[in-house]
Structure 1
Amino acid sequence: MNQKVLVSVENVSFRYNEEGDKALDDVSFQVKEGEWVAIVGHNGSGKSTLAKLLNGLYFPNEGSIIIDHNVLSEDSVWETRKKIGMVFQNPDNQFVGTTVKDDVAFGLENNGIPREDMIKRVEYALSKVKMLSFLDQEPHHLSGGQKQRVAIAGVIALKPAVIVLDEATSMLDPQGREEVLQLIKELREQKMTVISITHDLDEASKADKIIVMNKGKVYAVGTPAEIFQLDKELIEIGLDIPFTIKLKSELANKGINLMNVYLSEEELVTELWTSHFKK
């Protein structure tokens, strides 16, 4: 059965001013229902501009963005924003409520959701991110990872078609980052559609599909295994490849050749043990 296309970016070009270079140049891709798609690139690659366009902060000079059958435009932007939920870098900048439940309820109140339905949605969303026991907690008492999970709950409560994470783990410590990545994985397993915009290829390695941006263009699209076969090219365009890919290359230099692309340290260690060291 064919998956429904929820986001379609069609030949999109954009420049911030008439004299400047194009920040995006003829960009096209699709995101299907239930996919986790990571959009990666170095600073200046166009990925942050793409996030702004997906949220309707800017509109394409050329081409179109279609979200769940709605063409994004100045006329449709408020209706389209209901289809796409954004989570940003700094969790501290996203809190408006005095308690966790107030914060998750804020967007629902703005959308005129009845109180009884609101209570159910708040509890449902917080249970999804494993933060229900923090319902009455003050946000400033939470860790960075917990704050970001609450921010994601606020988006889930609005029931968007797509969740966009714009560098949502970049300001977290390693534990907080791991909490959020595990949550994204669980959301994807629950058939939620996720777009993560990131410069971190370790994070992107967990996605279903990676879109590599470079100089405003789509440089490559594929599964993590397909993309990481371009290891030297990724380095040349300013990306820091995952540790397992670096280690595989170093092992090859030492005469230990591994056939596959390994996306986790566990996979790599298991292959080394079974194929080279186990007697």
Structure 2
Amino acid sequence: MSEHESIIDIKDISFTYEGQDSFALQNVSLTVTKGEWLAVVGHNGSGKSTLARILLGLQFPNSGTVMVDNKVLTEETIWDIRRVVGMVFQNPDNQFVGSTVQDDVAFGLENNGILHDDMVLRVEDALNRVHMSDFLNQEPHHLSGGQKQRVAIAGIIALSPKVIILDEATSMLDPLGREEVLKTVKDLKDEQGLTVISITHDLEEAAKADRVIVMNKGQFYKEGTPSEIFQLEEELISLGLDIPFPIKMANALRDRGILVPKNFLTDIELVNELWTLHYNK
């Protein structure tokens, strides 16, 4: 597999919701590479969630083309594409259909006609991968927010997709639950070569991505690595986005005369730099 081989190609798509005059998406083009973590960020109404819905075939563009795993998205190919792309939504409670954790993870497999013995193995493997195998017979509503999202992820990965879309999947979680879910996704990406698309307004989540695309008013605005995008601090703030805490802290330290040499994307990186500065005095 070429390191630059694409899994998704979007060419010049536009979309307008019925009854609205303005575009939800206008002339958007992008390519997603196999095995990368792409973050799509923007304020509410920027078009990022509409883009996610189109990738899953929940909406179809008014113009332009969407190609997923070498198939053009149409009403005829939608189920083939949904075998390639799985989505984890914002509220995990809206995704549960089973009375127990294992029943819920098995639901999608049953709908796809997977044989029982294979299904049992895939459910156990998926729950083990998200560190939820001890909760096999637990009722989902008894789980914490982070645990619920990990079960939701297990339900997706049991279907063996090539792409996982996180549609604001951590926005309702506390910091610990958010870290649990993002670590789970990163581990799965590294182990299985999954492609991850994170649709989010949280730039601390976007900091974990390989590449960031900024959306604004339904259009492609900026693209770059997290470090490159976070250098646009004032622009991001003007778009209604909040820069990550480590960058805010580094700026505050500079204002107080502590010369932090560059911006850091994680708390740990910043703390390590401060320790280094302290011991090199």
Length-normalised TM-score, structure 1:
0.95
Q: Which residue of 2 aligns with 1:136?
A: 137
Q: Which residue of 2 aligns with 1:28?
A: 29
The Cα of 1:193 is off from its aligned counterpart by: 1.1
* 1:1-279 paired onto structure 2 within 5 Å: 1-17=2-18, 20-190=21-191, 191-275=193-277, 278-279=280-281
Q: CA–CA distance in 1 between the matches of 2:198 and 2:149? A: 14
Q: CA–CA distance in 1 between the matches of 2:206 and 2:20? A: 34
The Cα of 1:235 is off from its aligned counterpart by: 0.5
Moved over 4 A (4+): none
The alignment partner of 1:257 has SS state of coil
The Cα of 1:29 is off from its aligned counterpart by: 1.3
1:39 and 1:211 in contact (8 A); partners too = yes
Q: For 2:37, give the aligned amino acid.
A: W
1:12 and 1:62 in contact (8 A); partners too = yes
Q: Deviations over 1:113-156 (max 9, x none)?
A: 11111111111111110111111111121111111100000000
The Cα of 1:261 is off from its aligned counterpart by: 2.5
The alignment partner of 1:82 has SS state of helix
Q: CA–CA distance in 2 between the matches of 1:33 and 1:137? A: 35
Q: Point out the more displaced range, 263-272 or 141-150.
A: 263-272
The Cα of 1:178 is off from its aligned counterpart by: 1.6
Q: CA–CA distance in 1 between the matches of 2:48 and 2:188? A: 22
1:231 and 1:245 in contact (8 A); partners too = no
Provide the identity percentage: 61
- Residue ranges of structure 1 left out of the alignment (5+ in a row): none
The alignment partner of 1:127 has SS state of helix
Q: Deviations over 1:167-196 (max 9, x none)?
A: 111111222112111112212222211111
Q: Deviations over 1:59-88 (max 9, x none)?
A: 111111111111111221122111100110
The Cα of 1:257 is off from its aligned counterpart by: 3.4
The Cα of 1:278 is off from its aligned counterpart by: 3.3
Length-normalised TM-score, structure 2:
0.95
The Cα of 1:18 is off from its aligned counterpart by: 6.9
- Residue ranges of structure 2 left out of the alignment (5+ in a row): none
2:3 and 2:34 in contact (8 A); partners too = no
Q: CA–CA distance in 2 between the matches of 1:79 and 1:141? A: 34
2:99 and 2:140 in contact (8 A); partners too = yes
Aligned CA RMSD, in angstroms, stands at: 1.5
The alignment partner of 1:121 has SS state of helix
2:105 and 2:123 in contact (8 A); partners too = yes
The Cα of 1:275 is off from its aligned counterpart by: 3.1
2:204 and 2:244 in contact (8 A); partners too = yes
How many aligned positions are there?
279
The Cα of 1:221 is off from its aligned counterpart by: 1.0
